Chains A and B, each alone.
Chain A
Amino acid sequence: MAGTGRRDFLEGLRDGLPIGLGYLAVAFSLGIAAREAGLTAVQGFVASLLSIASAGEYAGFTFIAAQASYAEIALGTLITNARYLLMSTALSQRFSDETPLAQRIGVGLGVTDELFGLAIARPLVRPIYQYGAMLSSIPLWCIGTSAGIVAGQLLPARVVTALSVSLFGMFLAVIMPAARTDRVVRVCVLASFAASYAASHLIPFTMGWSNGTRIIALTVVISAAAALVRPIDPEGDDAA
Chain B
Amino acid sequence: MSTRIWLSVIVMGAVTIAIRLLPLTLIRRPIKNRFLLSFLHYVPYVTLAVMTFPAIVESCETPLAGFAALAVGAIAAWYGANMVSVAALCCVVAFVLGLL
Interface residues, chain A, with chain B CB atoms under 8 Å away:
22, 25-26, 29, 37-40, 43, 46-47, 49-53, 55-60, 62-64, 70, 73-74, 77-86, 88-93, 101, 104-105, 107-109, 111, 158-159, 161-180, 184-185, 188-189, 192-193, 195-197, 200-201, 211, 214-215, 218-219, 222-224, 226-228, 230-232, 234, 237, 240
Interface residues, chain B, with chain A CB atoms under 8 Å away:
1-2, 4-17, 19-25, 27-28, 30-32, 34-56, 59-61, 66, 69-70, 73-74, 77-78, 80-84, 86-92, 94-95, 98-99
Query: Which residues from chain B contact A92 at a C-beta distance below 8 Å?
Result: 23-24, 27-28
A171 engages B51 (CB within 8 Å) = yes
| Closest Cβ–Cβ distance, residue B30 to chain A (whole Å) | 6
| 4 A-B pairs closest in CB distance | A50-B13, A176-B77, A169-B90, A192-B49
Tell me the interface secondary structure of chain A in the complex.
helix
What 5 additional pairs, Cβ within 8 angstroms, besides A168-B73, A227-B39?
A: A25-B84, A40-B2, A50-B9, A168-B70, A174-B83
Known: A83-B40, A108-B24, A193-B49. A234 touches B8 (CB 8 A): no
A224 engages B39 (CB within 8 Å) = yes
| Closest Cβ–Cβ distance, residue A35 to chain B (whole Å) | 12
Known: A108-B21, A170-B83. A51 touches B41 (CB 8 A): no
Residue of B nearest to A189 (CB): B49
Tell me the interface secondary structure of chain B in the complex.
helix
Report how far A78 CA is from B17 CA in the complex, Å: 10
Residue of A nearest to B39 (CB): A227
Query: Which residues from chain A contact B28 at a C-beta distance below 8 Å?
Result: 92
